[in-house]
Structure 1
Amino acid sequence: MGKFFRKFVVCVLPVLLSFLPSLIYAGTTGKISGTVRDAESNEPLPGCNIIIEGTTLGAASNIDGEFFILNIPPGTYSVRATMMGYKPYRIDNVRILIDLTTSLEFIMQVKVLDIEEEVVIIAKRLLIQKDVTSKLAIVSSDEILNMPVNSVQDILTTKAGFTTDAGGGIHVRGGRTGEIGYLIDGAKVDDPLYGSFSSTLNKDAINEMEVISGTFNAEYGDAMSSIVNLVTKDGGSSLHGKVEYTTPMINKSSYRKANPFAGVVDEGVYENKSMFDQQPIPVPGMFTLSLNGPVFSKLTFLLSGIYRNEDSYLPHGYSVEGDGLAKLTYSFSPTVKLALSGQMTGRESQGYSHAWKYLSDHQAHSESRSIRLGMIFTHTLSNNFFYITNLSRFENNSVTQVGDKLPQDYEMGKTGEAVNFYVSGDDDRYADNTTVTYRAKVDATYQANINHQFKSGFEFVNHDLSVYEESEPWPSGAQFKDQYTKNPFEIGAYIQDKIEYNYLIVNIGLRLDYADPKATMWPDINRFGYFDENNNWVLADEVAVDPKTQLSPRIGLAHPITEDAVLHFAYGHFFQNPDYNSLYYNLRKDLSTSLPLIGNPDVKAQKTVSYEAGIKYKLSEDWALDLTAWYKDITDLLSTLQVSYLSQDYVVFYNSDYASVKGIDLTLRKRYTDYFSGSLDYTYMVAKGNNSQPLGGYFDAFADEEIPHQEYFLDFDQRHKIAVNLNFNIPENSGIDILGMDLLSNFNLNILFKANSGLPYTPYVDPTVRIDINSGRKPWTSTVDLRAIKTVPFLGVAAAIFLEITNLLNTENVLFVYSRTGKPFDTGLSGLVGSSPDADHNPAFVGPPRIIKMGVQIIL
């Protein structure tokens, strides 16, 4: 280990560990803070007991009438205050949010008689959370269930700052894909090889979803753009459950025609069929199950499962996936709690490849499975400090292959003489990769007084990486093989203080990250060997790569200027280690291919310096506005650099890419009144850089193109993004009658509208004309989705039927275009050899058509 890390262990770590008696597991609970006063004199009341009903959590007010309650799981509660000589005072509908403070005020009335008379107040959902110092979205379980979405990623695309590229990758405020840190119950579940989200979660299992698109606190590391924090439900004091079935697409998909956009009469191999007309698949559609409740008084459980089996709306492709989650929570006492969880996810899928349209059985498919085990131990030592220890193991295995073939059985793919479709042979890739990640995490909080909350934490992460990949394994192919086993590890630690006054809230913290790839590399990437004194060629000896260390200062401020307006500002440094596959790729240094690509374990962590400032303003009792301007300076991005040494050319991963992004996020929200609630999210953004992806330099070198020497609009530079979500809910006994009957009671309709300006592309005229990179723009895209559900009593339970429609207006949304024409189905080369309407009209160049699904629910 380096000298800096040794100094950290000796000097800084003991300070952090001194907070271990006061630990809190980061990002899974919230806090209540408030005051108790006499209704007549307005004097503070010390010694008043405040409890959260249905829990063992509570506190007593101090001499100034102040109190706080820590470690509260997110949700909605009733909070009760009692004091001798005063009427009991209860506040219902108190919402607790992850990482945030909910403020309450109890105005106690003197009890005149000994009759138990209680004051009851129903709290309204806050439109402005005054202790938020950066852009934040909290999505409740009800909101998640009502929206016409199927995944966490679908929800993210509705939030300001989140955009989607043509391939479906998610970007946050102009960052690259893979810059989001996903957490389930506080533990990261990213794939360390490629950085993707490696878990499927039933929507019914989510208690709350916290989406931080701006500057986040020091407790979160190894993410440059965003944190998505998912907290699952605990079992309650009564049994709750739901079974749901959703059909596959029940309308016909014209995309399954031979030439769905060419106007060709002969439908050829493919016909205009509905999903039910396809080759039968076992149990099509989606099933979900959730059940939670008590086993006995101190033990609760959560069971959740999802099974989805669907064909693609495209000419071929499918997805079969299943996920099961089990969680047990045991309360040894009011101050000691243990939670054990296990989750298993499996998926098999094949995307659509236009080249393999008529030979899909020989296109590669992917299979993956993951197992997550977790333990959270909570010990409350007093009402102002406690600690939580979290241990987890996350294993992910992914296999890509053609059928059940091994690489030695692959045959070279061959296209037809007249068209560019494969007519024989196999896809060119085989992979079998396994990652196992162990995490041990201790995070901490100490509520020193009503104004200061100190938090600190320490985390150790160890990865076991096993990779085996082959490409073009047939005799005339490249026969490239990549195989390695590595065990890198990471350490993170932080300390921060949340300072809360009526006029100012400050989040200030410092984070340290340490990563050791435990690998070797050439001392100089520009020189892989040398001639000795006898003129003999000698490969350079590899040396151990030094561990990398980063310090990340972060600060956020919120200043309430009135009861209805809050200014906020945030600044921070954010680092993220490159995906491990870019560190270890081709570490055997195979230079036999035409342009070898070599991983580099000596690359640094990528860096983003983020600034943001904004205002939250309550427009009325039901409407609020959040406007945030932001800027990101991104350096040391992962790139690929061509090296020419003697007669050998190769490409190596390096930190030479950069970008600068600026924009504005606007969110307008309406609280639920008059039967509807809603939100509008808008983002204006300009994203420039010298490369849109790490492999950009490799592709330029392979095509013998000039490397860009100045910033240009990045591939995912989307100038405008709009998302409008409207939810109409008519509760039971609403008084809205139709023909004398209450037909609309327990009815919910959710409408989601999304519109995005066109992404850039580079037009082509002819080789003699130089066109600026990404100087053209694709057209706008838009969709209208809806979900309608009606619930009725049925045999002592609640039954529901629902309808889901995505792309209601059947809009043809352009994703990819040909560079000669800027259109998705016109190559500009019609009539030339190898061109045909079928080959030119790739249905994956546009987004999904209208998709209609129906379903039923049984709710306990």
Structure 2
Amino acid sequence: MTSRARGSVFGQITANHGITLGGDVALNELHRDTRSADRATGENAWFNEFTSEPWRIGIYLQDNIEYDGLIADVGIRVDGFNANWPVYFPEDEYPEAFARGGMRAISEQHGIPVDMAALGIVSPNSSPELLRYIDAPLSTDPGWIHSERLLAVLPSEKAQTHWRVSPRFGVSHPAGDRARVFFNYGRMHSAPAAGYRYGFLAKRQRIGGFEGEIVGVGNPNLEPPRTTLYEVGADYRVLSQVAFRVRFYSGSETKEPTSYIKVGGVQSVMTGGVNTSEFRFASVSNDGYRLFRGIEASIEKPLGSFITGSVNIDLREVTIGHTGVLEDYEDPSRSDVAADVADVCTDFRPTVQGLLMLSTPTVWGSLLGGWELSATQIYRRGNTEVYHRAADGLASNSNGNTVQSIVFRWVDTWRTNARASKTIRIGEGSFTIYGDVRNVFNVKTFNLAAVDRVTYFEDILMEGGDVPLHRIGDTSYSIDGENVDDIVKRRLVRENDWLLYLYPRSFQFGVRVNL
């Protein structure tokens, strides 16, 4: 749930300067409960549950400048971000408590029961019972009960508040009666996605038992990613109701969240002894980046009594990479696995979007006039995804580590949205009743975060081989006579895991009042 408040005030200071001062506050309430188990054995359960209330606050100041046809907007914005979730083990980069059975000592130290009987829970006797048990409410889930008690005693500190300043500048000037040239520069900051900031991913439900371990942890102190954009372009009115626009742009997205592996434990013999206490868990850093540049052209018919529309073509080149490490070792005798040049991926991503709107003029009367029906069609080429494959015997990269980077491509996106609305005028005002249908044909969008990446890439997309055979999200093929969608549901997720596919067909209805 999100609660948001925003407001602004405008004042025309002089004939050429208009000042806007505004601000907004957003408070979120996030809940996540993810539990799963192996269907065949009922073992190796995964558990991730959290509740958080992150907030964001922003204020901005903008000067609208007009001189003899020249229009410029100069502004600055200040944003504050806080994940509002504890940072656990703030003084320990490789907490031994994350190792298998590592939480047991903390549980015993604070008198927290570590088995089902002590928690007042009747243990399931078979795998089917355990599968049903994992669907039980949180109030009867031993993993949740134990974790709630355990989190209260773990060493922690409050997450940091990150403050960022974002300048913005835009200017446009007419070039004759039909044309206009423009230039824009802007810097923006956004909150990291919740999946990167929160939660412990606990392997095996009894996280306080001998077999329990933490295999993934969020980072509430992630910095807000920054987007910087430059663009220059021109508008040209071809006919009285048809306009053509072209713009060239370049930009970057830095401080992007990136997952990597932290490996705790130190070898008993610095010259190569066997490390029997090694443990691994996933963490998140701000080492990702994205560079993009391209050209965008559009033709638009913005005015008309019956038909309006537009066609937009965006030809974009995107380079994705990261500057951090893939594996970070506590053991000083082992070298970290740094990001290699192979991890930098340049991709060409064309996008085409068309809008068609049919409308009836208001002069047709209150019954027939004021109707609008629109449809938007979007095509976007599937982007690439880099999979880091680490195994013995693979060729070493430039850092001398056995990591192989394999590039996969997502399926292309075809998406149709539609809207119908009716505007009714009352005196000087009006109100509009509208209905939206997003993803009209209910095209599936696969959620890679909902499955185990290694199993999905190795067994599903490469079918046990060494090269990609299929695109990410493709559900049209079969393996050994079984549809891949059924295989993914059977092996990797529960049948009722609604997060396997994102952005299903949705409906939205509303009323907009214009006074």
For residue 469 of structure 2, the aligned residue among 800, 815, 820 is 820
Instruction: Give the match for residue 225 of structure 2.
Output: 606
Name the CA distance, whole Å, in 1 between partners of 2:253 and 2:327: 18
Separation of aligned partners in 2, 1:445 and 1:570: 22
Letter in 2 for 1:452: H
> Could you say which residue in structure 2 is the equivalent of 1:551?
165
Give the Cα–Cα distance (whole angstroms) in 2 for the partners of residues 837 and 641 of structure 1. Answer: 28
Matches within 5 A, 1:549-698: 549-580=163-194, 582-586=196-200, 596-646=215-265, 647-673=278-304, 675-690=306-321
Structure 2 residue runs of 5 or longer lacking an equivalent are 98-104, 107-152, 266-277, 329-336, 396-403, 423-434, 447-459, 462-467, 490-497, 504-515
1:712 aligns with 2:345: yes
CA drift of 1:552 comes to 1.0
Larger Rg computed on CA atoms: 1
Of the candidates 45, 67, 81, which is equivalent to residue 478 of structure 1?
Answer: 45
Match of 1:578, SS state, is coil
8 A contact 1:583–1:599 mirrored in 2 = yes
Counterparts of 1:552 and 1:459 in 2: how far apart (Å)? 15
User: Aligned to 2:76, which of 486, 507, 510?
Assistant: 510
Match of 1:722 in 2: 353
For 1:587 and 1:847, the matched residues in 2 are separated by 21
Counting matched residue pairs gives 366
Mapped partners of 2:262, 2:165: distance in 1: 31
The AA in structure 2 aligned to 1:527 is Y
Per the TM alignment, residue 598 of structure 1 is displaced from its structure 2 partner at its CA by 1.0
Q: 1:447: which partner in 2?
A: 12
- TM-score under structure 1 normalisation? 0.35
Change over 3 Å in CA distance of 1:697–1:786 after alignment to 2: farther
Q: Distance in 2 between matches of 1:442 and 1:557?
A: 25
Structure 1 residues 836 and 567: CA distance shift in structure 2, 3 A: closer
In structure 2, relative to structure 1, the CA distance for the partners of 1:456 and 1:525 (3 Å cut) is: farther
Q: Does the Cα contact within 8 Å between 1:493 and 1:511 map onto a contact in 2? A: yes
Q: Aligned-pair distance for 1:527? A: 3.1
Q: For residue 632 of structure 1, report the CA deviation from its aligned partner.
A: 2.0
* Counterparts of residues 166-565 of structure 1 (less than 5 Å): 191=1, 394=3, 439=5, 441=6, 443-459=8-24, 465=29, 467=31, 469-472=33-36, 476-478=43-45, 480=47, 482-484=49-51, 486=52, 488-518=54-84, 519-523=86-90, 526-528=93-95, 542-565=156-179
CA distance in 2, matches of 1:528, 1:450: 63
* In structure 2, C-alpha distance between the alignment counterparts of 1:442 and 1:675, rounded to whole Å: 35
CA shift, 1:549, in A, is 1.4
What is the letter of the counterpart of residue 476 of structure 2? F
Residues 234-270 of structure 1: per-residue CA shift (max 9 Å, x gap)? xxxxxxxxxxxxxxxxxxxxxxxxxxxxxxxxxxxxx
Q: Percent identity?
A: 16
RMSD of aligned alpha carbons: 5.3
How far apart are residue 561 of structure 1 and its match? Answer: 2.1
SS of the residue 2:469 aligns to: coil
Alpha-carbon distance, 1:730 to partner: 7.5
The residue type equivalent to 1:656 in the other structure is D
Q: String of CA shifts for 1:781-811, please: whole Å, max 9, x gaps.
A: 586979899xxxxxxxxxxxx9x9998xx9x
Cα separation, 2, equivalents of 1:458 and 1:788: 31
C-alpha contact 1:502 1:560 (8 A) present in aligned 2 = no
- Structure 2 vs 1, CA of residues 733 and 454 (structure 1 numbering), >3 Å: closer, same or farther? closer
Give the superposition deviation at 1:481. Answer: 5.1
| Alpha-carbon contact 2:254-2:290 (below 8 Å) kept | yes
Contact 2:260 2:285 survives alignment (8 Å): yes
Structure 1 residue 490 displacement after superposition: 3.9
Q: Deviations over 1:578-623 (max 9, x none)?
A: 2455333129996965662112222111111111111111112111
The Cα shift of 1:546 comes to 3.5
Q: Which residue of 2 aligns with 1:754?
A: 377
Matched position secondary structure for 1:619? strand
State the structure with bigger RCO (CA 8 A, min sep 6), 1 or 2.
1
> How many angstroms apart in 1 are the aligned matches of 2:192 and 2:314?
27
CA contact (8 A) 2:475 2:485 kept: no
Distance 1:839 1:542, change over 3 A: closer
Deviation at 1:452, TM superposition (A): 0.5
Are 1:633 and 1:661, in contact at CA under 8 Å, matched by a contact in 2? yes
Deviation per residue, 1:180-215 (Å, 9 max, x gap): xxxxxxxxxxx5xxxxxx7xxxxxxxxxxxxxxxxx
Inter-partner Cα distance in structure 1 for 2:502 and 2:80: 42
Q: Which runs of 5+ in 1 are unaligned?
A: 1-190, 192-197, 199-393, 395-436, 531-536, 699-704, 735-744, 790-801, 849-860
Separation in structure 1 between the aligned mates of residue 79 and residue 421 of structure 2, nearest angstrom: 47
Instruction: Choose between structure 1 and 2: higher helix proportion.
Output: 2
